[in-house]
Amino acid sequence: MKYPFYTYFNEVDGHTFWVARSFYLKGCVGQGNTQDEAISELNTNEDDWLEEAKKFGIPIPKTNSCAIDTVATYLFMPSAMPIEKMASIHRQIAEEIGNDLDAIDLYGELIAAAIKYATIRAKWSVMSREEKMEKNPYRTSLHNDVILQINILARYLRKAEKPASWRDLLGDETADPMCRKVIGDFACFLAFVNGLCAR
């Protein structure tokens, strides 16, 4: 594959399937019963797209492995959570924690997990396919730890008679696989804010 892409799980009229979509080749997608099938189809379709573009004189985007991703790139992705909503959830967490020292410790555990996860996720787009295959189980375990820390903090706050309704806004990752991605996105947001405040 020459161009960056993203994948997501989709459902249409009760039929569920994976979609792989090119960021830069408009309308270039692949679908399949598995993520790998969708990526494989996208790879074939990318070649066809480029061949047709040459034939009809359609401008071909430069293949630049240093393509600049922006917030707009992220917001184009399925189930992307607006930055403002992430900031609102973060404010709710901070307000509910207040001066509760145990909750502050739990939040620290969440931040530590978010930073570890965000670090590997930030490197993901520049890793080779082989590196991704090797690191994927580790990335998954870091993602699982973020979810665990979020759930621990929410349970603690609810036991302290706080609503922790922010947890519901992140979604139920056991019921909807896209919520897992949203929680990962939120972990990256937490790492980002922590980094900004650490100057």
**Segment 76-122, tens digit of pLDDT:** 777 889 999 999 999 999 999 999 999 999 999 999 999 999 999 99
Q: Which residue has the higher pLDDT, 65 or 186?
A: 186
Predicted local confidence at residue 64, as pLDDT = 53
Does 145 have pLDDT greater than 90?
yes
Strands 5-12, 29-32: pairing kind: unpaired
Structure tokens at 27: 């309308």
φ/ψ region of 9 (left if φ > 0, alpha if ψ in -120 to 50, else beta) reads beta
Domain boundaries, the chain: 5-56, 71-197
Q: Above 90 in pLDDT, residue 153?
A: yes
Q: What tens digit of pLDDT does each residue of 156-170 get?
A: 999 999 999 999 999
